[in-house]
Amino acid sequence: MAKQDSFEISQKQLDACAKLINLDAGTLAVLREPLRELHVSLPVRMDDGSIKVFQGFRVQYNDAKGPAKGGIRFHPEETIDTIRALAAWMTWKCALVDLPLGGSKGGVICNPKEMSQGEMERLSRAYVQSVWQFIGPERDIPAPDVYTNPQIMAWMMDEYSKISGKSQFGVITGKPLSVGGSAGRDDATARGGLCTVREAAKEFGIDLKKATVAVQGYGNAGYFAASLCKSLFGSRIIAVSDSKGGIFNKGGLDPEAVRAHKDKTGSVITYPNATAISNEDILELEVDILIPAALEGVITGANAAKVKAKIVAELANGPTTPEADDILYRNGVHVIPDFLCNAGGVAVSYFEMVQNFYMYYWSKEQVYDLLDKKMTPAYHSVLDTAKKYNTHMRMAAYVVAVERVAEAMKARGWV
């Protein structure tokens, strides 16, 4: 079965929300499409002296509530439709956790695994040279995403600062601490997600000290999710996976040792004292908490009925299709939707912006406390809305977010 287009999925979800809350046709028409998007060609000199031209994008979906906010992906299979969908989800995500920001996303079609550090730097600076007029601390603030990192953000911030003639730390978030990054940013996505898992466990009477956890995807978010589930809750991590496959141990895995093994070998798959398992099988394990933390579209109409987890905490963007949502809801699986569950990253990015603006930086403990105070009420607003409309959590999250964005649009006279 062909994989569904991410932007079509995002529009389908929005249409269903609009129908549920009787959103007027004009407002829906504006919300269904990006406000603006930029396509750029990026010529980069490679290490062998040749020139290679990369294709890049920046989509600003909606900025009714404030400057646009969204990451930049470097990926060989990047598409404009994926970027549009992610920009839409960023719009809903910022609204859901009540940030004064809109949504955007960027990407470059490239394979970082085949590029040197020097080539990556030249590509990063070329991207900023092409989009700098469309971004800025009060316009659109990028951040790291798939295959980008704090170093890449530092190069991009530096290039923007050179062009503007002054240090502009606030143009980018997810930077190293030495150039205006925020304490607590590295594990913010996972930590914020676990705030919602904690609240869901209370709601459904799950003892997290006895809970079993499977994590699909062992990058930044997946690793921290596994590590924090164990350290904060005492949960048992029985399976993890990466792009090459997964490992399973019913007695539990040590997240730190697995991370060290992956750093050394490039994958979790040869980790000792564990059984090999596929990325597909990990989704169907009998666990209390399943954390999809890889790419979009992994839980579909074809496999949703086989998901046995009590809670699905979506740290990835768009891991569940609309057809799968309905099946999981009917089967009593509690899904914490992506733009709620993984909003910890953008919440701490916002905190980083605030710190950049007034040039005073908070401790990690302050950041964690503020993060919890954003994520916990956001979860309960979605849960209460789900009960009110007798619908699943993703639709409830859309209702909360779309109503907030629509209210801002109407206040500004856009519709």
For 254-273, the DSSP string reads -HHHHHHHHHHHSSSTT-SS
**Residue ranges with strand state E in 173-283:** 212-216, 236-242, 245-248, 275-277
Q: Encode burial over 8-39: b for 16+ CB neighbours within 10 A, e otherwise.
A: ebbbebbeebbeeeebeeebbeebeebbebbe
Specify whether the CB–CB gap between 61 and 34 falls below 8 A.
yes
What structural domains does the chain harbor? 36-170 (3.40.50.10860), 188-341 (3.40.50.720)
pLDDT for res 3: 56
Residue 362 CB partners (closer than 8 Å, separation 6+): 182, 183, 351, 355, 370
Specify whether the CB–CB gap between 277 and 239 falls below 8 A.
yes
pLDDT for res 367: 98
Beta strands across the sheet bearing 275-277: 275-277, 245-248, 236-242, 212-216, 289-292, 311-313, 334-336
What is d(CA 296, CA 319) in angstroms, rounded to the nearest whole number?
4
How is residue 122 written in tokens? 């030249």
Known catalytic residue: 19? Answer: no
Rounded to an integer, what is the distance from CA 348 to the centroid of its chain? Answer: 12
Q: What is the mean pLDDT of each run of 10 residues along the chain (415 residues)?
A: 73 95 98 98 98 98 98 96 94 97 98 97 98 97 93 98 97 97 94 98 97 95 97 97 95 97 95 93 96 90 96 93 93 96 96 96 98 98 97 96 98 97
Nearest residue to 316 (alpha-carbon basis) of 172, 218, 173, 182: 218
Specify whether the CB–CB gap between 50 and 124 falls below 8 A.
no
How is residue 223 written in tokens? 């690793």
Half-sphere exposure of 57 (CA within 13 A, CB side): 28
pLDDT for res 1: 42
**Options 93, 105, 230, 310, the catalytic residue:** 105
**What are the φ/ψ torsions at residue 185 (nearest 5 degrees)?**
-75, -30
Specify whether the CB–CB gap between 277 and 241 falls below 8 A.
yes
